[in-house]
Structure 1
Amino acid sequence: MDKIKTVIFDLDGTIANTLPLCIQAFRHSIEPLIGKSISDQEIIATFGPSEEGTISALAPDHYEQGVQNYLRNYETLHHICPTPFEGIPEILRDLKNNKVMLALVTGKGALSANISLKLFDLLHFFDVIETGSPDGPRKVEGIQTVLKHTPDTKKDQVIYIGDAPSDILACREVGIPIVAAAWAETAEPDKLRALNPDYMFFEVSDFHQWLELLNAV
């Protein structure tokens, strides 16, 4: 492939192991409002829209309070995930130093994404940040928005790195290469492999080495 000019990152499960944090924040926020317990699978089944969409699905009668509770609990419980994956800051630094455009396209809402990126001290790396919508998945639209910022960059000079099967499908729709990140404990490698991503890595260090071989870092 041509020299990479743009790298687009997912956040949850790619930059950091934030999914357990998200689940706990949802549980702490929603269960007191609806008066019953909710399982991990019930929470995960609502993913696609931003967290506002999850609140709307699981606690529709308490939407405003649920969103407020979630953001408060997400920040308070962030000690569950205090750092990004080892090696991610170095990759971002090296790409930035090599004049590669960095973008973030995540299904998270803008406020929670900002909380994590600030805590990880990664916010300054990204030239473009596209976040989720309560109305449904918008990875395709987010990626397309990033591409509009680099009209002279060919699609095979762009890669997206994400941990979910839906990331692979979004990249196929847009027409850019997809790197499947299978290094989080929450990753599902078999599901990723079944969709034939262009590349797949089980260790951040292997992904970094691959970027070096492409002269991206």
Structure 2
Amino acid sequence: MTHLQKTIVFDLDGTLVDSLPDIIASFQYGFASLGLPAPEDAAVRALIGQPLEAMYAHFAPTHAPQLCVVYREHYARNFVNRSRPFPGVVELLRTLRERGYWLAIATTKRTDMARRFVEALGLMPAVDYVQGTDGFPHKPAPDVIHRALGALGAEGLWMVGDTTADILAGRAAGLRTYGVTWGNHDAELLATAAPDELQPDLGRLLEHLPPLARG
């Protein structure tokens, strides 16, 4: 009987990496470059986790395609100006790998950009697979999770994220869900998606994931 490798799936922005300042800066840059009034930080933050096109359409629907082009050009040059892994993330990933789990990232970023980002932050050796969202439904649909697990030929145990879309996608994929409140959605909003765990950091995840039996 074949046993699939047990795998933990993580969102990227706001979950593993504090990337909010760079995302917001690039998002607002597009408006300035087109001579449009830029939205406030809080208004942008509330939409992070949605597809970029939908975020821009919320503020400037007629300019959304052009704004997306400007954002992607600017973000690709500035995506690690201030972005850093959250405290303890590198150690957490290392511990989970040592305990025998595989680790996948499932993000709304495009795959090419997501992999560049993970590599630039030095996290690529810590994970087994990075899956972005390329031409298929975004979270809260479970497609990006299914694709990550399918590419690995693995069994998903937990989906870990910082937005309600992450939690809903994880549940739809049949995984247990862990909401972390240091990202884009606060505890009150995350609670509306009823995650199995709702915590201020990722520390409690280790309590659910003891070392796997070898053999």
Q: TM-score, normalised by structure 1?
A: 0.78
* Residues 44 and 99 of structure 1: CA distance in aligned 2, closer, same or farther (over 3 Å): same
Distance 1:183 1:47 in 2: 14
Distance 1:64 1:196 in 2: 34
- Mark the runs of 5 or more structure 1 residues left unpaired by the alignment: none
Distance 1:36 1:201 in 2: 36
More strand by share: 2
Q: More relative contact order in 1 or in 2 (CA 8 Å, sep 6+)?
A: 1
In the other structure, the counterpart of 2:211 is 215
Match of 2:194 among 184, 193, 196: 196
Distance 1:206 1:117 in 2: 23
Taking the TM superposition and a 5 Å limit, the aligned residue runs for 1:41-120 are 42-44=43-45, 47-55=48-56, 58=59, 66-74=67-75, 75-76=77-78, 78-81=80-83, 83-120=84-121
Taking the TM superposition and a 5 Å limit, the aligned residue runs for 1:141-180 are 141-149=143-151, 153=155, 158-180=157-179
1:7-49 CA deviation, whole Å, 9 max, x = no partner?
0000111001112321111001233215322233553465454
Distance 1:194 1:60 in 2: 28
Could you say what secondary structure the match of 1:200 adopts? strand
In the other structure, the counterpart of 2:18 is 17
Could you say what secondary structure the match of 1:204 adopts? coil
* Residues 207 and 62 of structure 1: CA distance in aligned 2, closer, same or farther (over 3 Å): same
Q: CA deviation at 1:110?
A: 2.6
Could you say what secondary structure the match of 1:26 adopts? helix
More helix by share: 1
Q: Please say if residues 7 and 103 of structure 1, whose CA atoms lie closer than 8 Å, have aligned partners that are also in contact.
A: yes
RMSD of aligned alpha carbons: 3.0
Q: CA deviation at 1:164?
A: 0.6
Distance 2:154 2:39 in 1: 47
Amino acid paired to 2:162: D
Q: Please say if residues 51 and 134 of structure 1, whose CA atoms lie closer than 8 Å, have aligned partners that are also in contact.
A: no
Q: CA deviation at 1:170?
A: 1.4
* Residues 132 and 150 of structure 1: CA distance in aligned 2, closer, same or farther (over 3 Å): closer
Amino acid paired to 2:99: N
Q: CA deviation at 1:115?
A: 3.5
1:55-105 CA deviation, whole Å, 9 max, x = no partner?
566556666653443234323263222x20111111112222333111111
Q: TM-score, normalised by structure 2?
A: 0.78
Taking the TM superposition and a 5 Å limit, the aligned residue runs for 1:29-40 are 29-40=30-41
Q: Please say if residues 53 and 133 of structure 1, whose CA atoms lie closer than 8 Å, have aligned partners that are also in contact.
A: no
- Mark the runs of 5 or more structure 2 residues left unpaired by the alignment: none
